[in-house]
Amino acid sequence: MSTPQPGDALRTLPDSNWERGPSSHAEHLVEAGHVLQFPNLPFALEKDEQRFLDPSWSDGRSKNISLRGATELRGAQGGKDDLAALQAIIRRFAANAQALVDRMFPQYRGKLRAGNASLRPFAVEGRESSWRKDDTRLHVDAFPSNPTQGVRLLRVFTNLNPVGRPRIWRVGEPFADFANRFSPRLHRPLPASSFLLHALHITKSRRTPYDHAMLQLHDLAKADLEFQSASPQQEVAFAPGTTWVVFSDQVLHAVMAGQHMMEQTFYLRPTDQLAPETSPLRVLESLLHKTLV
């Protein structure tokens, strides 16, 4: 399994149907750190659903409208019927994403756990945020309150912008290069800190040494402006109607522009991968010569 060369992160597949298509068995491509793109795989909204692209359905507190489990809608405001319609849209996207990953990754069947799905109605440009939350900077996904303990983050995205605007990403160097670059600056967690963070409900589960390392890598990358501008990277434009799939804990990414996207997160244990040694957990363990569980 070879990691992508600079400028070669994308793999383009022709499928135009979520349930059926010519492509399958793409585990080795995503695990190697490629972004799988389907330029002909739109998520269609019905005529009376188009109104939900307006950011005013957001409750203003969160940048996404998300569905947790089958029925818990978060981040939206509106009447009962509106919220039910919004929920139906996100649920339909979640079902499409599930169908896609089930046939693209037969090895993961029954092993992927679906997390939240979301509608992201806001424009990327002009969003105010701290450097740590600024996703226009290259990063791997790692979240302070959501330790994964090494479990993989596989994400399905679809651009559904109605006026032709692409979603522009930058995709960075392979994970092993990135980890190598910053590993001299990684330090250990303070003794008892993971226990305290969990006991105080700051984290939703125990923050393992792996989570601690990933959060540091996330922050080191975003804080390093030289790395941001000078490290190997390529710009990618996902046109409306395009779906893309990526291990976002592994692939360095940044979002530069765009509006209106759907997203579904899946979790996968490294031991359920085709090549577990490509997981950030195993790459970091072999780099640091210690277990991180």
Interface with ligand SIN (CB under 6 A): 135, 141, 167, 248, 253, 255, 261
Q: How far is the CB of 245 from ligand SIN (least distance, A)?
A: 13
The answer to the question of residue 141 lying near Fe ion (CB under 5 A) is yes
Instruction: Report the alpha-carbon distance of residue 172 to residue 30 in Å, rounded.
Output: 15
Stretch that binds Fe ion, among 97-105, 133-141, 202-210, 283-291 (CB under 5 A): 133-141
Closest CA to 276 of 37, 86, 51, 111: 111
Q: Which of 252, 186, 176 has its CA nearest to residue 213?
A: 186
Three-state DSSP at 278 gives helix
- The three-state secondary structure class of 293 is coil
Q: Closest distance between ligand SIN and the C-beta of residue 37, in Å?
A: 13
Q: Least distance (Å) from Fe ion to the CB of residue 290?
A: 27
Q: Which residue is nearest to Fe ion (CB)?
A: 141
Q: Which residue has the tokens 């640091």?
A: 288
Residue (of 121, 230, 242) closest to 170 by Cα position: 230
Nearer Cβ to Fe ion, position 90 or 251?
Answer: 251
> Which partner, ligand SIN, Fe ion, none, binds residue 167 by CB below 5 to 8 Å per kind?
ligand SIN
Helix axes 209-223, 175-182, angle to 10 degrees: 90
> Smaller CB distance to ligand SIN: residue 165 or 198?
165
Residue 219 touches which member of Fe ion, ligand SIN, none, C-beta under 5-8 Å by kind? none
Size of interface with Fe ion, in residues (CB under 5 A) = 1
Residues 146-205 close enough to bind Fe ion by CB under 5 A: none
β strands within the chain, DSSP E: 10-12, 35-38, 65-68, 72-74, 113-120, 152-159, 167-172, 233-238, 243-247, 253-257, 261-268
Question: Which among Fe ion, ligand SIN, none contacts residue 177 (Cβ within 5 to 8 A by kind)?
Answer: none
Closest approach of ligand SIN to the CB of residue 47, in Å? 26
Question: Which of the choices Fe ion, ligand SIN, none does residue 34 contact, using the CB cut-off of 5 to 8 A by kind?
Answer: none
* Beta partners for residue 119, in sequence order: 65, 262
Name the one range near Fe ion by CB under 5 A: 17-25, 112-120, 134-142, 258-266: 134-142
Contacts from 85-88 at CB under 8 Å and sequence distance 24+?
85/48, 85/49, 85/52, 86/52, 86/57, 86/119
Contact between 263 and Fe ion (CB under 5 A)? Answer: no
Cβ 195 to ligand SIN shortest distance, Å: 29
Which is it for strands 35-38 and 10-12: parallel, antiparallel or unpaired? parallel
Sites of contact with Fe ion (CB under 5 A) = 141
